[in-house]
Structure 1
Amino acid sequence: MIDHSVKPDGLAFVGVLTTYNHAGSVEEGCTFFHSMSNTYGFTPQIVHYGCLVDLFGRAGLLAEARALIDSMPMEPNDVIWRALLASSRIHRDIEMAEYATKKVLESAPEKSGTRILLSNMYASAGRWNDVAKVRLSMRDKGVRKAIGSSKIDVCGTIHEFTSSDVSHPKMDRIAAMLSEMSERASSPTADLAAAPVDYVAIAVSEPQKKQDAGVVCVSYLVASR
């Protein structure tokens, strides 16, 4: 754009910052962010600060991300704080996650996903009393978790499955196949090494985690057929 004497706009800056973000190029991203005003005379907007917060967070620089938020010339919104919360989950920083959760709920108290994410972090750390406190708080405030659903396209027909849904016309066949594959997946010879079992939202033993991981794998395979 510069070579063709075209002045970049806010959207172009977002694109470049996002590229640095996914590449993990912190130093280059920071340099470019400052060049927006110093070189191009463009005042960064909240979306550009959000890109930089996410860049710091992905790199594990959570303190720097928080310092940036505190120095923003505008009031950070819930999107900014959720970016910090997501990074806190990735890097398992519960203290920072608690702080980010508090800030998110100040501006968007209806967001159930925020509380669920913090609850899952507590569960991963074995802090079951804190899990219970979060769940009780959700119940007392009337906050409900959105029902999860999945959609698959089979020969041009869209099939949607929601949590605990048994209304599908072929549910008997699906359940039978799921049961058979679940038995195979949970057998001693099944390889579940790749199954994610870190974030378990209820208190279960390690063997139970492995068994549940098998069911997760099977559910994915059934939905993919």
Structure 2
Amino acid sequence: MSVPAQPLTIKICGLSTPETLEAALAAGVEMVGLVFHPKSPRFVPPKEAAVLAARARGRAEIVALIVDRAIGEVTELVEAVRPDWLQLHGRETPEAVRALRAATGLRAIKALGVADRHDLAAFAAYDGIADRILLDAKPPKDAAYPGGHGRAFDWSILAALDRTSPFMLSGGLDPANVAQAIAMARPWGVDVSSGVERAPGVKDVERIRDFVVAARAAAAATTEAGRT
């Protein structure tokens, strides 16, 4: 896989308070994620999310994470919150991704669960349909929600990924391992949630800052290594 041609995109997902949102924005992240899956500990009601989105608008791109929602529900959510992206973190088919993009006019990130190299076969079905594909670790079988479990997968399997579109990486990332993940996977972007928390759904300001610093340094080092 080639070195990304543009700077690394960093997304902090599951933000739910003004303090932690401001910490992410102050750190210079490109994307902030708001979770609209009620079973998640990071769930934010649309009215509260609209207030957070207003604070972030023009400072970072706003991502609305949804799971297997009907088009009507999604369009109502989009009208209330006005995100820049949809992140589809359920079992949405390529046809559903295409329909949601058309109905909302928004760009879409499609999350794919990965446990081993066989799961990478799904990439081709969404390549060119979703604007970005997010490779995330598969959740535990009994999980109530699909992401944010602090699990990682073997990033070395991505070396054989046949793709034409850039991808984002998630799953078990934290300030201590994000540099290794970037060096191995060479993603377009990284997405973190539980790795910058002190408890499920409770973001930590210092961990957010540490994650961004570590990711930026790793991206710079990886880019420089690709030039030599």
TM-score class, shorter: under 0.3
TM-score normalised per structure 1: 0.26
Higher RCO structure, 1 or 2 (CA under 8 Å, sep 6+)? 2
For the pair shown, the structure with the greater C-alpha radius of gyration is: 1
**Larger % of strand: which?**
2
Structure with bigger helix share is: 1
* TM-score for the superposition, normalised by structure 2: 0.26
